Amino acid sequence: MKTPDFNADVIIIGGGLAGLTGAIHLSKTGLRVIVIEKNSYPKHKVCGEYISNEVLPYFKWLDLDIENLHPTHIDSLHFSSESGKSLKTKLPLGGFGVSRYALDHTLYLKAVSQKCAVLEDQVNEVVFNNDFSTVHLSSGKTVTSSVVLGAFGKRSNLDQKMGRDFFHKKSPWLAVKSHYKGDFPDDVVGLHNFKGGYCGVSKVENNVLNICYLTNFESFKKFKNIEDFQEKTVERNPHLKNILRNSEAIFEKPLTISQISFEKKNNVENHILMIGDTAGLIHPLCGNGMAMAIHSAKLASESVSEFLNQRISREEMEIHYQKLWNTNFKKRLRYGRFLGKILEHSALSEILTKMITFIPFMLSLIIRKTHGNEIVIK
């Protein structure tokens, strides 16, 4: 057998939010970590860029001061139905707005400063044998370790390679995001519905406005291009029309992604502990995916530390992590999936959004059911 090119205590596949958080956590405890990320930093990502304050105690523990990125501080939600009927509510815990460009890059620099190796390469296969995993890269190199964390996001070549169920089911969702210059309050996140989708609006650092919408392909395909779709569908909501008509795009063209799946996934597969979207993506309407990605990295890192310090067996580590994941996230994802199903049907979606604007308590309830509490540090 060929000698591996690298080895580590832990290999993390994917250097997004979950992967980099796991790398910072594990290296802080003295473990040798290799992150394999196919893209280079910094990079813009399709995301609403509103992060729940749930993560703040954990960021503090990781010695990450988010204030250095000059985020906006968001404590209110402005919600509207397609017709423009709207309501404002306070967010119980609140959050902050920061671009993924800045956030992921900061986490990357922190991981590197803690001596994590970050390889720019793509993982093509993971083979588990004799209590060790061998990770095969596009460059032809191999990396081995006794623990692998899967942090490769919502949809990756590895999902196909591993034959994960969700990969073969068609998903109707696509998303469009761009940064803008425009007037918008710093402390508000807007959640505005339109036929077949919804749009999130909030400020990030440097007075930049992030506008990101999710829509189903059926609505989208009837139009010539993004501009046409925005004008004839998204802007039918008067709030969105006002925001889009009075803002100037900073990106040359918007970023888009498709095939966004909210299907159930296994959180341990082939002895890989899955974290972030690789374990399950909550509907973005809930604005909780990033907090969950970061929190799941903490839970996996703690389970891995127990195993590598020989306090529990591999089997116990895997069972322990699955239990923690289910306790913390399973219900939130279920609610998110339910909301997503409603959104898939324009008529139901309009009824729900209208009901919410008439019965504001429903919105508070949805926020409570799809968000967690501050991450507890023991």
Ligand X SMILES: Cc1cc2nc3c(=O)[nH]c(=O)nc-3n(C[C@H](O)[C@H](O)[C@H](O)COP(=O)(O)OP(=O)(O)OC[C@H]3O[C@@H](n4cnc5c(N)ncnc54)[C@H](O)[C@@H]3O)c2cc1C
By beta-carbon distance, which residue lies closest to ligand X?
16
Instruction: Kindly list the residues in this chain that would bind ligand X in the complex (CB under 6 A).
Output: 13-19, 36-39, 46-51, 122-123, 151-153, 156-158, 175, 200, 212, 214, 260, 276-278, 281, 284, 287-291, 293
CA angle 82, 330, 335 (to 5 degrees): 20
Least distance CB 141 / ligand X (angstroms): 12
Spell out the residues 6+ positions from residue 363 whose beta carbon is closer than 8 angstroms to its own: 77, 79, 87, 89, 356
d(CA 166, CA 34): 27
Closer CB to ligand X, residue 131 or residue 134? 134
DSSP secondary structure string for all residues of 136-156: EETTS-EEEESEEEE---SS-
Closer CB to ligand X, residue 107 or residue 317? 107
Closer CB to ligand X, residue 297 or residue 352? 297
Look at the alpha carbons of 177, 182, 186, 192 in this order and tell me if their dihedral is positive or negative.
Answer: negative
Least distance CB 122 / ligand X (angstroms): 4
Least distance CB 288 / ligand X (angstroms): 5
Spell out the residues 6+ positions from residue 8 whose beta carbon is closer than 8 angstroms to its own: 32, 33, 34, 117, 143, 145
Please report, to the nearest 10 degrees, the dihedral formed by the alpha carbons of residues 246, 247, 253, 256 taken in order.
-90
Least distance CB 371 / ligand X (angstroms): 10
Nearest residue to 192 via CA among 277, 272, 282, 80: 80
Least distance CB 241 / ligand X (angstroms): 20
Element (H, E) at 304: helix 289-308
Closer CB to ligand X, residue 17 or residue 352? 17
Closer CB to ligand X, residue 182 or residue 289? 289
Least distance CB 31 / ligand X (angstroms): 19
Closer CB to ligand X, residue 239 or residue 265? 265
